[in-house]
Chain A
Amino acid sequence: MSAKKADANGGAALTRPENQGAAEKATRGTLKYVDDQFGSASFLKRSMDKVFPDHWSFMLGEIALYSFVILLLSGVYLTLFFHASQNVVQYNGSYQPLRGVQMTEAYASTLHISFDVRGGLLMRQIHHWAALIFVTSIVVHMFRVFFTGAFRKPRTINWHIGTILMILGILEGFAGYSLPDDLLSGTGLRIAYSVAESIPVVGTYVCYFLFGGNYPGQDIISRLFIIHVLLVPGILLALISAHMMILWHQKHTDFPGPGKTEDNVIGTKFYPGFFLKTNGFLFMVFGMITALAAFAQINPVWLYGPYNAGQVSAGSQPDWYILFLEGSLRMMPNWETHIWHHTISWNILIPGVILPGIMFNLLALYPNIEAWVTKDKAYHNLLDRPRDVPVRTGLGVMSLTFYMVLVAGGANDILASTFHWSLQATTWVLRVLLIALPPIAFKVTKRFCLGLQHHDEALLHHGVETGIIRRLPSGAYIEVEEPLPAKKAETLAKQIGYDPHHHGDGHAAIAAGDGHEPAPADGHTQTVTRPVGVLAKARTKLEDFWDEPREPVPDTQPHPEN
């Protein structure tokens, strides 16, 4: 099977005739004009007819895309008024409780934007809410891709790009959050400084290079500014374009269902159906972010005060996407090693550098690891349902649990003061949970998936329970079961029949309508060779762990109907 799918037009693409009115004629006219000028219409025409699946979860990535657009627009506005300088000035703006206070120009200009620039506060709030929505939607989008197996060949490259986008989004957010140079972000920056400093050998140099001297130095704000408005947005823009072009070229994945194969896409054509839909959605994302910005205050830097090394506020938290790092730092026991005249601060190095390094690498390489373990080299254009791949789903939930405990750790003081728990006890409980909860989450999730599978197969085999009890001639009582409606049965059969562990031989065929037998699990078609070497043995072990056999459905009840 090749990476290219059959032309989407060949599949049962749906267009609605009522949408093809004057507007579409006009667009086609424009297209013809463009074609006359550039000779590119066949590409454009193909694009217009491109088919997008209708499932809602395919729109999560769009939230990220549109909030990025909002970030660009609002960010440009802020750049017009923001001064990225650490020169100290006296504030004389209109926010009374800070008048006369010495502060950096960066902080003063943020106050200026908030109180003296028309629409400035709204813009700042739009920018910040959009930043939260941006990073969050990337993460949610990533879950969708992960739990449906959309990252498998040929889309592994886009998974890698996606991971880089997420990391850059986090960096970008952290840089932006630090720009106003207020007490809260300054506290965060100081932590970042000590994390960088904890790297053995090069740490001090890295810090010196970034900050231009000892903390806080004179340079960090202007450097972060360039990173924030030029460097990272530039890379983001390039990578987002690559991400989208690869998507466009490879076409969407889709969930298995009637008529859906590895070689087609069923859904709405790009123009006009999807185009209208996605534009509507664009405005909804704009609307949601603007509504948040209009009604909910975010990052009230005037309350935090200017950064001052001698001050710190209770509950100094970073934005949520940094919270897991804050949490790992707070949860780490206070270990240090002294070698000669050097101190290795494990208490910062492990939670601040090593742990996130491992986490991000595992995340980025997960598709490769899974493909290696399962020896799956096939192309996949149809998605898995999470329940059909219990081990992957379990691993996902396990990682998520680990991550969420770290996040909770970053808010341990807020938890403690809100619920009147002891701060120490909270930290200790979280430490235990960090180790104990993930394996439990794995087990429970896997069990749950197997249960759901079981339920599905029971539905397919026995149909729906009708609640009617019948007495058999033998005297036994049974409940009458009705077979699933044909269409439902077919969908379900497709979903179950699609076995992710088919190695390279595509899709098991199921005769439509008689969805009573699931596809035979023909399993491994590869010749078995004895594993040699540590790595190969480990791989075999992992594959066994991975290949959870489907539980057979007990066929206890007689079927009087069939």
Chain B
Amino acid sequence: MQWLRTMVRIRLFEQMLADLYKAGRLVGVVHLSIGQEATAVGVCSALKDGDQITSTHRGHHHMVARGLDPQKMFAEILGRAGGYCRGKGGSMHVSAPAQGAMGANGIVGGGIAHAVGLAFAAKRLGSGGISAAFFGDGAANQGVLFESLNLAALWQAPVLFVCENNGYTEFTPTDAVTAGESIAARAAPFGIPAVEVDGDDVVAVNRLAGEATARARSGRGPTFIECRTARWRGHHEGEESYAKPYREPPAAADPIDRLERVLRDAGLAADGLRAAMEAEEEAGLAAALAAAEAEPEPPPERALEDVFA
């Protein structure tokens, strides 16, 4: 039930950003995760407090799924004083390490190795924590992925490599720039257990993530999970200003509808439950957005702070 709520929250959060963008109330570039809610929720629901994730330029869903406060996320994305990164990170860099979200990253592949290091640190310090690296199918072509897989296997680091395969590398179908049979198959030569999963099936993602976290926590090292999903919107909002139509509308079924159906079939979701959830979440997010928009800009001297300890 909590999964449904979180997925609904992600969807609404992103839709509000799409509306804000259209209305000219957003600054910078935003990459939305609509359609990919199940991967974030399926994996993050298998994590505990004290675990860490690293994320990507398309990372709002991971952050909401990790339990971050929507008001502080909105504030960051709007460049306001009360944002998680004090207004210095923006959409591509929302981070809250204290809440287990080491952060989104504007550099494709930039966070993957960090997750290996976070996992190593947790192991060495005996904190019991593990980490998960989210990255896209496009990022699977960065050399750092292979180097990270090797390190993680050598160190038996308690880390999940979670590839969100949404089929696109910006404007290019990933198949056109990616050799080999699958992305998951890239982990096998390192001796890392790898699975492919329907990434829009939150139950299946959660089951595999649960197995992977159990493996990691019991000292049996990394796991690779390729989640097949779809990017419903463009690469970023506003791209139609220069990108001619380049893709088919995604065929995937709505992951939220799918979970709702599962809950219904199990007799867990009464009629009207989702609508009520949506209304509650919408009200909560609207209040969060209003509060964030009412915040001041960061004070100018803040530009010079936080460089060194």
Q: Are A and B genuine complex partners?
A: no
Which B residues are closer than 8 A to A by beta carbons?
none
Which A residues are closer than 8 A to B by beta carbons?
none
